[in-house]
Amino acid sequence: MFVHTVYFWLTNPESDDDRQALRAGLETLKGITHFEALYIGKPADTRRPVIDHSYDWSLTYIFSDQASHDAYQEDPIHLKFVETCARYWSKVLVYDAVE
């Protein structure tokens, strides 16, 4: 299993239009077929010192293996998402994990 988690920080976090535009862009990624599961979320209302809730959106993919992940990276839908939506984020962090 290959888990790919991405955290996005909006350039203009006060803009609801930008927030919704990025969410809509994330939704387009559901059209990619290389993954086993996909979760799109925002920070939960949990407050403990070990929790970073400073991001605006998160995306978590579960792939069967790294080859599927690598194919996703080159998928035209993913490339179009980056091209279209990169203007909405100021920071992106990616965490990949394998089992």
Measured between alpha carbons, how far apart are the two ends of the chain, in Å? 5
3-state secondary structure (DSSP) of residue 95: strand
| pLDDT value of residue 93 | 98
Domains and their CATH numbers in the chain: 2-44+66-94 (3.30.70.100)
Q: Which residues of 39-65 are buried (b: 16+ CB within 10 A; e: fewer)?
A: eeeeeeeeeeeeeeeebbbbbbbbbee
pTM for the model stands at: 0.93
Question: pLDDT by residue for the chain (99 residues), tens digit each?
Answer: 999 999 999 999 999 999 999 999 999 999 999 999 999 999 999 999 999 999 999 999 999 999 999 999 999 999 999 999 999 999 999 999 998
| pLDDT value of residue 97 | 97
3-state secondary structure (DSSP) of residue 47: coil
